[in-house]
Structure 1
């Protein structure tokens, strides 16, 4: 395990160093940023008078040429360097050094005046109610070309990174404008907007960026968006030049400290005086404990974001509550710092709405995205969370009260039990919110302040650990235990070609009674229930000591009947469907499987010319294959696979399908093998996944599942990967590989008699072709001249067929919305128009 992690880390570092060598412009600008600080280190007035561009902007001010070369403070330069590494270097890799440098210059020269003019308009119209005067500000920051080039380069990024980059740039820059309010923040927002817009104009294909995203990516984007809205105020607090609405409090961090004697002197006679409040507010901002408590909101949002990325319902509910609490707290803060005498109420309300805008937007998106968060936390984990919070309250309260009684003389007035109990809740709030509350007891020694600050640290430390463990816990331990039991039975027993899919999340399990003298169940059936229909994932899986699937099938049907469900055996073999006729079941053809036997697999002869061409061309272009499991891949390869999958999802009219069609999450199932086409530059051209098939405890074959390719990469990569996958199975001594089934498709040699329902499904398959390309997929597999086998749906009630159809649809697309149906209808309508001569890509699954 350690060796694998170190190998992946070394690979990532090697890849990162390689990227740096191809970005000379970015590296040179980093050197310039730090070099200017070294040159001007002896100047007491700093860099701003010599390099900064002051307001109001004048067109002949030559400082515009140099105001983006560095920053005024070393801390800001460190943050800018991080921005170059994260944003500018990838942009230079995408655009090329010359184009990157030219873009940076143009964007800086265009965005800087536009931002300064906009800032002046905002100031003069009164929309900067709580901020400092921007008309007297000076700009010295490279943020314009850093944000601008990244936004511009996003037009050439994959769909995955295009969405992520644009969302982060816009969310972060907007929040910084509202909460930091400096001139450089205005430049950052302007650069992000202008860079994205100009990229769309110059690269028109990016204008048609599809909004469709996988469930996994949608959760991640929403989590990052929520985190960005919280990160803005934190960055504003860490910026000593911040001039946003709450800078009056956050700038206390950077003010000269009151001595403890001064705090005592100011609060000795009246702890409620304004002088005492100011001194306490400033003193509360100092120290490690105060810094940790001030970062608590960001940490809480970070933990909730992790929960959102996992699809946890509890994290979704807590995030909604956190947005509402944040909006209320912001409103209260604005109330305390606003002078309501002689104010323009309309302008005041407008400014207030702008201040809570990021949280309002996030709140609305969270509410409308409820379908993404259906994973419930097990009641045991919820109980442990409640117990953890109660423990945190108890431990921190005991620490504060006992410590306060011992250090009673370290507070003013002298600490008493009643005062200590009254002050307990105060120490759970970040000091940065100090204007919303007051202390009953004011510490006037180092020990007193340490106790006051670290009481909150203890409370939040225990609470956050409990929250993290609850959100990251297994949703249902019983379900995980059932899945592990099913995996043991499958690996040691016998399953059909789809049996590995029974281990995927979302399935329920029915276990057959154990045979006499045996401890293990005789087998199991994986199924899902929708609309009163128990839809199975293939046939029953038999344990090593079982031999007749019909016995298990009958037992499962009885189990379903007892629960009020009708049974639908989905994607079962011809032999199984024939034998179920004895129990009154009918069958309906639903897919056609393509099989390649490994004994004489050589790809010789004229009929395999296309396959040999694909393999030969791959060798000439330096493309090789990597056979590995997900956990063995390095982070760069993993991220490339995710990017290819997201691009594929974005191209489809309907949401990503599940059930028997695996996505990225299913690739992580232990035992799933991946075959990846990579070139010498570590670029992923295509990827396939292969699911193991066991008979009597032995691996006998693989079933193809996941297929994705880079639309701008090696064109015949799928033919190459399928051929290499089959040959790899042959090298392992396996019997066959299945290229899986093509739903609603039949080969020309299929001579089975058509019924009325077959004719209807034939028409449905033809109509759905523009949406998912199942028939094009079947055609691409025919290049391998496989043996075809039919898959069937078995049912025992014709009147239940409509419900069965809807149930199966819900299994595949559980998150189907009305908007998705309308979008699919538009795509289908466009497909019925006369062909334009363009051929669709039917390779990707």
Structure 2
């Protein structure tokens, strides 16, 4: 390459930069035009924050609303200012982010005018309702200790919460359930645990908005969303466990919390209360309470104290995936978090300060938050244990047990040795028994221990560091091992491939034979009359081609396979399905996006006569004139010399690209060996094989009625037109044999020439188009698709069907891994370089 060659690159880079900037500008203008109210609210929030100084941390409580500020002081304007002025920098950022995201989504559902009206109406209604309840609760003596002192509220998220919940009435069923479930869980978490007035005002606005939305949506047709009850139950229980685990964290972060359930926070403080109490009892001169406080606080003890909460969050993640180990972890943690505080209360370790009125309400709230909720939730999980059948493999379970055991022994031994060597850092020389008890205690949160003996702890040096961090290290290993265990699950039997072939012969579409390839599993209905071939990639089950089902039973098969995937904690997706299957899935609430086009030739009236067939007829005539023949055969019928030539042609094709060979729906030499697959070879006058094609059968009522092209290879130094020659010969021969359909297979990431223009493609559609451009230099999908267009085929769209848009990143990654399962880093880099070079 000459030195002058790269010169034009700079102008091209500048041009691409201008194009990207122009595209971003167009996208921004479209967003503003589509969401004017959301953008206007962002401008108002940031402007008021800057004008009042809250954006820089200044106090603007004079603009806030509340029982005293609004009613007693007579500042009625605060009912408006409280809805548009944030109280801090964080509040301004969060409010603006919510306005530009979830409120924008709500505006698309409701319309801009309705959104603007509801922002004012629901914000004001939520504020007045919240203030009314705040004043009423303040008037009740028993609740005064858990009602926040009157601090004027500034919170633009209050009207946003109301509008978003109102908009859910117009959302698709999937998002309606999701937004309501997650939204109210988050709002309730802050209200019940943090307990600040802002949380209750937001919750009031959301409840009112939910009712207003239902009124506005009356008479509007809603399509039911068919989803497995197993999945619903898992999601709900996982969310409740996450709320129970996150609630005390929220209360701790908010300074202890004032909500009715915030008393549970006492069980998760980082201070060793028993140690402090004993220091006070034994000798304040020898054991200084402040020194004990210093020694038992810090990041390490704080992390150890909240370990049960972290375990509940980890368990919630596993419950969502249907993991049985997560069920055990959640039940154990919930029961322990309920029983230990009761024991501590009975033996006098835990003291609850009664409120001034002595009504005992504090005991009721403590019991509800600390004991009743965890035990009830644990009982519900046990009752629903059948919803969590996904078990880890025995080998993985043994590995985790060994890792946890070794970690405990290693940490305990190291801690004991460090403390023994650092005896001088203790207030008094500890005995061996003291060190053993101290070692065991450091693996449990302070609320879970009841130490024996006098208080003794290290004051400085390595002994203090080990005292604060050894428990944290151990539980970090435990949590990592549990997360690893969630990924190592038992796989169901792959299914009997012979049954799938029998169902294929009963009747199949043009791509059904793909389900017989190695790496695919097979699901069957209970009566073994319906089947789905799928590729399991991580936690994604990629169903390959259309399901095999008798007339009228395809929707039943689709629903049953989806339930089967949910039961095992997998994400189902149907890849390369035709329009009729996509329509059935759409009726079940699924969505789909085009991922390719199949080219099909109808053989009934096929003739290569006329000008339109000139590009096919010329290579066919030339090859026959030069003595080339098309030979039908099967792999087992090849001679050793022929087989070696086919292998050489394939290896030459792969080596020429220096890139990973793709699989999944693209066949290789392995698929040629199938006894049902036919080969068509282009053989020259000298007996040398110039090109190879393979053909997969499709059946109707037990008879072969179609063939699908799969494998295509030719010599790089061979004559041109060999592929046209072989395909034309195949069409003519198969027509004589009585076949009605000849499929030239699917072209990944292609679009039919007559496809309607998509002026506003979805994000996934745009990504697929970009991916097609990137892969074209390496694999030539577009070139191959144009080549197949010579045969004047009928185009059939192939789609990817998915149930949940949030699963698209996982599905996309699974498709990539399925196509390139063995690609090395070097090959991926080569692919990227090839793509970059092609785009230049």
| TM-score interval, smaller chain | 0.5 to 0.7
Output the CA distance in 2 between the equivalents of 1:20 and 1:48.
32
- How far did 1:114 drift? 0.7
Name the residue aligned to 2:227.
Answer: 213
CA shift in 2, pair 1:490/1:655, >3 Å: closer
- How far did 1:351 drift? 6.5
Output the CA distance in 2 between the equivalents of 1:448 and 1:101.
62
Contact 1:147 / 1:191 at 8 angstroms: preserved in 2?
Answer: yes
Name the residue aligned to 2:313.
Answer: 302
Q: Does 1:286 align with 2:294?
A: no
Name the residue aligned to 1:396.
Answer: 411
Match among 576, 583, 592 for residue 673 of structure 1: 576
Find the residue that maps to 1:732 and give its secondary structure. strand
Find the residue that maps to 1:136 and give its secondary structure. coil
Deviations 1:418-446, CA, capped at 9 Å, x for gaps: 33321234333456x59987994444337
Name the residue aligned to 1:592.
Answer: 551
Output the CA distance in 1 between the equivalents of 2:573 and 2:443.
43
Output the CA distance in 2 between the equivalents of 1:527 and 1:488.
12
Output the CA distance in 2 between the equivalents of 1:119 and 1:702.
71
Contact 1:223 / 1:309 at 8 angstroms: preserved in 2?
Answer: yes
Alignment of 1:306-317 (within 5 A): 306-317=317-328
Output the CA distance in 2 between the equivalents of 1:236 and 1:412.
35
- How far did 1:384 drift? 2.2
CA shift in 2, pair 1:425/1:440, >3 Å: farther
Alignment of 1:76-87 (within 5 A): 76-81=91-96, 83-84=98-99, 87=102
Backbone CA RMSD of aligned residues: 5.8
Name the residue aligned to 2:330.
Answer: 319
Match among 148, 170, 186 for residue 156 of structure 1: 170
Q: Does 1:51 align with 2:38?
A: no
- Higher-Rg member (1/2): 2
Normalised TM-score (structure 1): 0.54
Output the CA distance in 2 between the equivalents of 1:122 and 1:733.
67
- How far did 1:106 drift? 1.5
Alignment of 1:138-157 (within 5 A): 138-157=152-171
Normalised TM-score (structure 2): 0.54
Name the residue aligned to 1:757.
Answer: none
Structure 1: stretches of 5+ with no match in the other structure:
1-9, 510-519, 542-571, 574-589, 596-647, 649-653, 705-726, 735-783, 785-845
Contact 1:423 / 1:440 at 8 angstroms: preserved in 2?
Answer: no
Name the residue aligned to 1:195.
Answer: 209
- How far did 1:674 drift? 4.3
Contact 2:122 / 2:162 at 8 angstroms: preserved in 1?
Answer: yes
Contact 2:168 / 2:179 at 8 angstroms: preserved in 1?
Answer: yes
Name the residue aligned to 1:622.
Answer: none
- How far did 1:453 drift? 2.8
Find the residue that maps to 1:337 and give its secondary structure. coil
Name the residue aligned to 2:189.
Answer: 175
- How far did 1:183 drift? 0.7
CA shift in 2, pair 1:146/1:235, >3 Å: farther
Name the residue aligned to 1:732.
Answer: 745
**Number of aligned residues:** 563
Name the residue aligned to 2:560.
Answer: 658
Q: Does 1:234 align with 2:249?
A: yes
CA shift in 2, pair 1:229/1:105, >3 Å: farther
Contact 1:419 / 1:440 at 8 angstroms: preserved in 2?
Answer: no
- How far did 1:670 drift? 9.2
Output the CA distance in 2 between the equivalents of 1:503 and 1:272.
80
CA shift in 2, pair 1:413/1:101, >3 Å: farther
- How far did 1:394 drift? 1.6
Match among 239, 249, 252 for residue 224 of structure 1: 239
Deviations 1:51-86, CA, capped at 9 Å, x for gaps: 222433645432121123344344455554554465
CA shift in 2, pair 1:475/1:404, >3 Å: same
Contact 1:176 / 1:233 at 8 angstroms: preserved in 2?
Answer: no
Find the residue that maps to 2:389 and give its secondary structure. coil
Output the CA distance in 2 between the equivalents of 1:688 and 1:305.
35
Q: Which has the higher contact order (CA 8 A, sep 6+)?
A: 1
Alignment of 1:26-41 (within 5 A): 26-30=38-42, 32-33=44-45, 38-39=50-51
Name the residue aligned to 2:487.
Answer: 472
Deviations 1:221-275, CA, capped at 9 Å, x for gaps: 43233213322322222224833468799799999x99xxxx9999699489999
Q: Which moved more, 1:355-364 or 1:273-282?
A: 273-282
Output the CA distance in 2 between the equivalents of 1:246 and 1:593.
53
Output the CA distance in 2 between the equivalents of 1:282 and 1:253.
17
Contact 2:522 / 2:531 at 8 angstroms: preserved in 1?
Answer: yes
Contact 1:26 / 1:84 at 8 angstroms: preserved in 2?
Answer: yes
